[in-house]
Amino acid sequence: MGSFGPIHWLVVLVVVLLVFGTGKLRNIGSDLGAAVKGFKQGMRDDDEKSKEQQTANSQTIEGEAREKKG
């Protein structure tokens, strides 16, 4: 009862195709792809927001320092 070999994985793939069909598997794949794409876009948006906040915070600190000097 060791690990699965290539023949075992082929049998599992055939059984999955018979049970679910190619249409349903295609839909699952496209849904999964859309979810990953949305996740990546969300991460990119969060990075942009954090960069904007860091820039705004650094400008505020520089402005406060100038006010105290002057």
Any domain includes 60: yes
Give DSSP secondary structure letters for 15-47.
HHHHHHHHHHHHHHHHHHHHHHHHHHHHHHHHH
Residue 14 lies in a domain: no
**What percent of the chain has pLDDT above 90?**
36
pLDDT digit string, tens, across residues 33-50: 999 999 999 888 888 887
* Cβ-Cβ contacts under 8 Å for 4 (sequence gap 6 or more): 12
What range defines the domain where residue 43 resides? 22-70
What pTM does this model have? Answer: 0.48
On the question of pLDDT at 1 being above 70, the answer is: no
Distance CA 66, CA 31 (A): 53
**Number of structural domains the chain divides into:** 1
Mean pLDDT of 16-42: 90
17 and 25 in contact (C-beta within 8 Å)? yes
Decide if 6 is inside a domain: no
